[in-house]
Amino acid sequence: MLLKDRVALVTGSANGMGRGIAHKFAEEGCDLIINDLSLDAAQKVADEIKSRGRRAIAVKADITNVAEIERMTEAAIREFGRIDILVNNAGGVPGTAGRGNSDNITAEEWDRVVDLNLKGPFLVTMSVLPHMKKNNYGKIIFVSSMGAVSPCVSVLHYHTAKAGILGLTINLAFELAPKNIYVNAIVPGPVDTTFWDALVPAGPEREALFDAISRKEVPLERIGRPDDIAGPALFLASGLSNYVTGQILYAAGGQPILAHGATFNIEAYLMGRAKK
């Protein structure tokens, strides 16, 4: 097994990509710290991991709150003695209701979204790093977004934060390489998760949107699934990537092929359908 007896902390792992990553890691012999804002939701996933024969704990923690992050790290060290792998997955645009362009963004909302998607992963990493340095080993994976490099809708705060994640990845990789700590980032394309709830509700409207994105935006002509991100995460978390650090791995159905060409404008699509 690629992660036999390793210990991983995956933030935001009660659903979506985080849950998919946690399950993929467990399949490969990893023990897990499952983190979410909902303890019940995190515990459900922890129980699923335990049913696979691996150890797991659920920890409720807001990744923008230093005290809660420290309690999460302490709980992990108390239970497992170390953290070998950190996946900074938690993020999103909750509560924005489609806001985020230059006509409707506010300074308060900018701060909230950037804190969640850039400062939060930084704070979690700073909490875990002393333990990785002590063990002279670690694998850190950040999750960015195609919107950071090739946006198809204006979400200024979110996409700016996710672009910052790429800079953080490269700089930490440079600093930590001599300490045998690897730092890489995954850039997902459109993946069917609850992330989309803040943009368009689940149902026929979302299905029509996904169909349009698949045909016009993604060379592989389909929306991604959590497992499509879990595979690259496993590669970056395992010994298969022991000569890989400071890299940006696109898991986007071929989307970077279109990064400098015409792209599908989700915002215009939604506005057009609303007028019908």
Question: Which amino acid is residue 222, in one-letter code?
Answer: R
Q: Which residues pair with 251 in a beta bridge?
A: 188
Strands 7-10 and 248-251: unpaired
Kindly tell me the burial class for residue 270, based on how many C-beta atoms sit within 10 Å of its own C-beta (0-12, 13-18, 19 or more).
middle
End-to-end CA distance of the chain: 53
- Within 10 Å of residue 81's Cβ, how many Cβ atoms? 10
Which spans in the chain are helix H? 16-27, 39-51, 66-80, 107-114, 120-135, 156-176, 204-216, 226-237, 266-274
Angle at 92 between CA 88 and CA 96, to 5 degrees: 160
Q: Is 137 a known active-site residue? A: no
Joined together, the tokens standing for residue 204 give 């026929």
DSSP per residue over 93-147, as a string?
Answer: -TT-TT--STTT--HHHHHHHHIIIIIHHHHHHHHHHHHHHHHT-EEEEEE--GG
> Which of these is catalytic: 158, 182, 250, 269?
158
Q: Are 181 and 135 in contact (CB under 8 A)?
A: no
Lateral strand order in the sheet of 181-188: 56-60, 31-36, 7-10, 85-88, 138-143, 181-188, 248-251
Annotated catalytic residues are 158
